Each structure stands twice: as structure tokens, then as C-alpha cells.
Amino acid sequence: MYYYQPIYRKPPDTTHRKSEIKVTGEGRISIQPDTAQVLIGVETENTELRTAQAENAQKISDITHALIDIGILAENIQTDNFTIFPMYDFVDGKQVFRGYRVDHMLQVTVLDIDKVGLVVDTAVEHGANRVSNISFQILNSSNLYQRALTMAVEDALQKAKTIANAFNLTLIPTPKSVVEERRFLETPIPLQKTQMVLSASTEIQPGKEDIEAVVTAVFSTMAG
């Protein structure tokens, strides 16, 4: 006859059982844009193409020199678009040639945000008759985003600590993983478009832009 001794199995030790906490952290920095881009243009019309081109070129030259005189760098004044359109009228159902229209748009980058209104006014005074867009940007957005990202990680850690304390858990502060959910992508802040500039004194208020960072972090905890 054979006898078998029962095998003793030690119960699992749950005193230091590990678990995980998954949290989302957010960081945000609000800052006023420091750079502006302005599209300024001249539209001329004439029955003679050469005359329309010459008038347009003279006004563009006058505008460029005037902007340089108020402190805009020459390399920050660039042609954005140049077009020539033949113009027609319809008379008694027939197409009648009316002349030519020449459009020349300049993109002006303004590094001193306080000069945006002055740039618009100066351009208008020297012949500009179109302002199609004014947009604001943050020149140093990459470094500011890194600060927001640090804030997001710190926010995630603080949330994990709060949750762990609520359940009497010991938090391991070094996360198992950190995933960047989304990042701030610099997008221009546009003002309302205007085709013709009529005001002799322009005041521009850019407001503020939020730079945001969001992370998802997983932390380990221990019971007891």
C-alpha cells in the first residue's frame, strides 16, 4: 500500500502586491504673440498693360522703402503673389475688353508687435489699397512648448500621488511609461480679412495664445 504526503503550498503574499495607475497630465502657458505677418498689396488698372504694371511697380517700391524707413528689415518684405488679369465687360451679350488689372501682394513680417498698426498705416499712405490678412504667431513656441510639457508631466505625477494616497498605496514616482498625447502646433491667429483699407489710423490688438501639452502616464504602486 502506498501513501502520498500532501504537498504544502504557501499562500501568495499579497502584502506588497503591485498595481498600476494611469493618469493624464496637462500643461498650459498663455502668452501674447510676438510676431505678425501682414499681407499688403497694390491693385492697379489701366487699358494699357505696361502702364498698369509701371504704376503698380512704383507704388510697391514706395511702400517697400517706406517700410524699411520705419524699421522693417528688407528680407522681411517678400512678394507673396503677383497676378495680371485682363478685364472684360459684357455689353449686349458680347464680351468687351476693358483693360488690365495688376495685383502685387507683399508679405511683411513684423518682429515688433507694437508696429503692426504703423506698418498698415505706412503702407496705405504710400499707395497700398489691399490688406488681405493679418496673422499673429509666437516666434519661440518650441521652447515654450517644452515648458508646457514639463508642466504636464508634473501634473500627471501629482494626480497619481493623489490617487495613490486615497487608496493607501505606495506610489513609485518614476513612471513605467509616458506618452505625449498631443502637442501645440503653431497656427496663425487671423484677424478679419479686409479687401480695401480705408482707416487712416489702425490699432491692432493680438490677444493671447495658449500653448498646451498633454501626456498620459502609467505609474506602479504597491499595497501596504
Which amino acid appears at position 206 of this protein?
P
Write out pLDDT tens, residues 75-125.
999 999 999 999 999 988 889 999 999 999 999 999 998 899 999 999 999
Q: Could you tell me what percent of the chain has a pLDDT over 70?
A: 83
pLDDT value of position 13: 54
Residues 6+ apart with CB under 8 A from 17: 222, 223
Q: Work out the angle at residue 78's Cα, subtended by the Cα atoms of residues 74 and 82, and round it to the nearest 5 degrees.
A: 145
pTM here is 0.69
SS3 content of the chain, % helix, strand, coil (to 5): 30, 40, 30
Range from 20-34, 56-70, 200-214 carrying the lowest mean pLDDT: 200-214
Per-residue cell: 4: 502520498
Domain ranges of the chain: 18-31+142-184+214-223, 35-137
Is 105 strand, coil or helix?
A: strand
CATH of domain 35-137: 3.30.70.2970
Task: Report, at the CATH architecture level, how domain 18-31+142-184+214-223 is classified.
Answer: 2-Layer Sandwich (3.30)
Is 21 strand, coil or helix?
A: strand
For residue 4, name the pLDDT band (cuts at 50, 70, 90): very low
Alpha-carbon distance 130 to 40, whole Å?
A: 6
Backbone dihedral angles phi then psi of residue 164, each to the nearest 5 degrees: -60, -45
Range from 69-73, 157-161, 178-182 carrying the lowest mean pLDDT: 178-182
Which amino acid appears at position 109 of this protein?
T
Please give the helix or strand (H or E) that residue 142 lies within, else none.
Answer: helix 141-166
- Tell me 191's DSSP state: P
Which amino acid appears at position 67 of this protein?
L
For residue 10, name the pLDDT band (cuts at 50, 70, 90): low
Which amino acid appears at position 117 of this protein?
G
Q: Work out the angle at residue 17's Cα, subtended by the Cα atoms of residues 16 and 21, and round it to the nearest 5 degrees.
A: 115
Residues 6+ apart with CB under 8 A from 129: 41, 42, 43, 196, 197
For residue 141, name the pLDDT band (cuts at 50, 70, 90): confident
Range from 36-40, 113-117, 194-198 carrying the lowest mean pLDDT: 194-198
In this model, does residue 70 exceed pLDDT 80?
Answer: yes
